[in-house]
Amino acid sequence: MKFFYFLLVPYITLAGCSKAQHNTTDNGAWGEQPALPVVDGKSDFTISGDGYYVNVMGNSIPRMPVFPSLSVKAGIARGYVADLNGKPLKGAHIGVSSSLTGGFYSSGSGLSDDNGYYEFAIPAGAAYFFGTATTITYNETAAVVALYPVGGASSFPSGNGAVKNFVLLSYGPANPDEVAQQPGNESNYYGGALSFNFNINYAGDYYQNPEYMPEDGVTEIELIPVGSGLYGETRSFKITRQIGNSTGFSIHNIPVGKYTINAKMSDGRKLKMSATGTKANVYEHLGLKPDNAVGTSTVTFTPNHQYTPVMVPSFKSNWDALEIELKLQ
């Protein structure tokens, strides 16, 4: 499928915000870029009956594009924003918040220009990046997506100034400390996420609901790309999950794209899929389409729909797990 970048029209102003100062004397030319990572083939995963999630792309970060060089300016935040191809992204929001002793906070922010460049003054204090996001058109929908801070760190002493470049990723972990603490949190990955839930018929129950999963059963979820992903990804995934005693599991860090989703039991019985939770049918063109499908449907991922770029936390994604209920047909 094709993806097109959506220009942010409004300039979002915060308290203490400073205007961008695009008067750099550094060389702003973008050079030749390395080949994109190849993400193809098929990956199979098995989740045990007491497992809750699987991260299908692991904790590796794709290789970064080559950015124009910049020197540090005292008191100034500056850098470039690009996609993984090294194509500059215009209109991305980059913000910095600074805190002083006594709990006083101030902020500065700017938008990237035609060359992907941003620059603004940093308020005094202990500073960290926030609101590092842009808006793309994803499956006919304007979606606010987070940007990855190249090199990882997102905090710094304000007086020193900072050069920080940002990249739009289709998968990969965000803050490694938070991934280690909460590996099952979908916002800790730049890929999309799906969450499945179901009811269980336990062997000792007097009443057996024909739509519930058998305690000793095994589900199989298959994701097959429709076309290619954000950066040409064509890898498919098969996740096998033993039912056990847990009534749900999640798939995290799926390369952003559109997928055919197949759901069945290991004995061949097809499963009914229904979107549930706060993201069910919020977007006309995102999520499970068609909903209430048996065996096969298509799925795209869902961002936090009320977020603007300035609201997206730094070093976290803005993808929210789409919840899908599974039932026996």
| Same domain for 188 and 160 | no
Tell me the C-alpha distance between 133 and 146, whole Å.
Answer: 4
In a domain, 255, yes or no: yes
Q: Which helix (H) or strand (E) holds 12?
A: none
How does residue 125 score in pLDDT terms, banded at 50, 70 and 90? confident
Domain count, the chain: 2
In a domain, 29, yes or no: no
Residues 323, 300, 240, CA angle at the centre, nearest 5°? 60
Q: What is the pLDDT averaged over residues 200-206?
A: 90
Long-range contacts of 49-53 (CB under 8 A, 24+ apart): 49/242, 49/243, 49/244, 49/245, 49/246, 50/244, 50/245, 50/246, 51/241, 51/246, 51/249, 52/184, 52/246, 52/248, 52/249, 52/250, 53/183, 53/184, 53/249, 53/250, 53/251, 53/252
| Same domain for 285 and 142 | no
Instruction: Please give the pLDDT value at position 108.
Output: 87
Burial class of residue 174 in the structure, from the number of CB atoms within 10 Å of its CB (0-12 exposed, 13-18 middle, 19+ buried) = buried
| Same domain for 52 and 198 | yes
| Same domain for 235 and 147 | no
Last residue of a domain, one of 151, 168, 185: 168
| Same domain for 186 and 249 | yes
53 against 22, higher pLDDT: 53
* Residue 11 Cα distances to 8, 88, 137, angstroms: 8, 18, 19
In a domain, 257, yes or no: yes
In a domain, 300, yes or no: yes
Q: Is 131 left (phi over 0), alpha (psi -120 to 50) or beta?
A: left
Has residue 92 got a pLDDT over 80? Answer: yes
Last residue of a domain, one of 168, 188, 210: 168
| Same domain for 93 and 8 | yes
Reduced to 3 states, what is the DSSP secondary structure of residue 289?
strand
Instruction: Please give the pLDDT value at position 98.
Output: 74
In a domain, 124, yes or no: yes
18 against 97, higher pLDDT: 97
Last residue of a domain, one of 136, 168, 200: 168
| Same domain for 208 and 91 | no
- In whole numbers, what is the pLDDT of the chain averaged over residues? 89
| Same domain for 117 and 70 | yes
Q: What is the pLDDT of residues 31-75, one digit of tens each?
A: 999 999 999 999 999 999 888 999 999 999 999 999 999 999 998
Instruction: Please give the pLDDT value at position 94.
Output: 96
In a domain, 34, yes or no: no
Taking residue 71's Cβ as centre, other Cβ atoms within 10 Å add up to 10
Instruction: Please give the pLDDT value at position 229.
Output: 96
Domain that residue 147 falls in: 4-22+66-168
| DSSP state, residue 160 | G
Has residue 198 got a pLDDT over 50? Answer: yes
In a domain, 266, yes or no: yes
Which residues, in sequence order, are bridge partners of residue 82?
88, 167
CB 43 within 8 A of CB 57: no
In a domain, 76, yes or no: yes
Q: What is the pLDDT of residues 263-293, one digit of tens each?
A: 999 999 999 999 999 889 999 999 999 999 9
Percent share of the chain, pLDDT over 70 = 90
Percent share of the chain, pLDDT over 90 = 75
| Same domain for 129 and 11 | yes
CATH number of 8's domain: 2.60.40
Tell me the C-alpha distance between 64 and 61, whole Å.
Answer: 8
Instruction: Please give the pLDDT value at position 100.
Output: 64
| Same domain for 324 and 210 | yes
CB 66 within 8 A of CB 34: yes
| Same domain for 263 and 138 | no
| Same domain for 230 and 83 | no
* Residue 323 Cα distances to 56, 262, 274, 281, 283, angstroms: 17, 15, 8, 11, 14
